[in-house]
Structure 1
Amino acid sequence: MRSRFPVQFSIEVIRARLQSDYYRTLEAVKHDATVMLANAKSYFSKSGEMTKKIRKLSEWIQDKILSL
Structure 2
Amino acid sequence: MAPARSGGANLTDADLTGADLTGADLRGANLTGANLTGADLTDADLRGARLTGAVITGARTGGTRGLPPTAPPH
TM-score of the aligned structures, taking structure 2 as reference length? 0.27
TM-score of the aligned structures, taking structure 1 as reference length? 0.28
Structure with the higher helix share, 1 or 2? 1
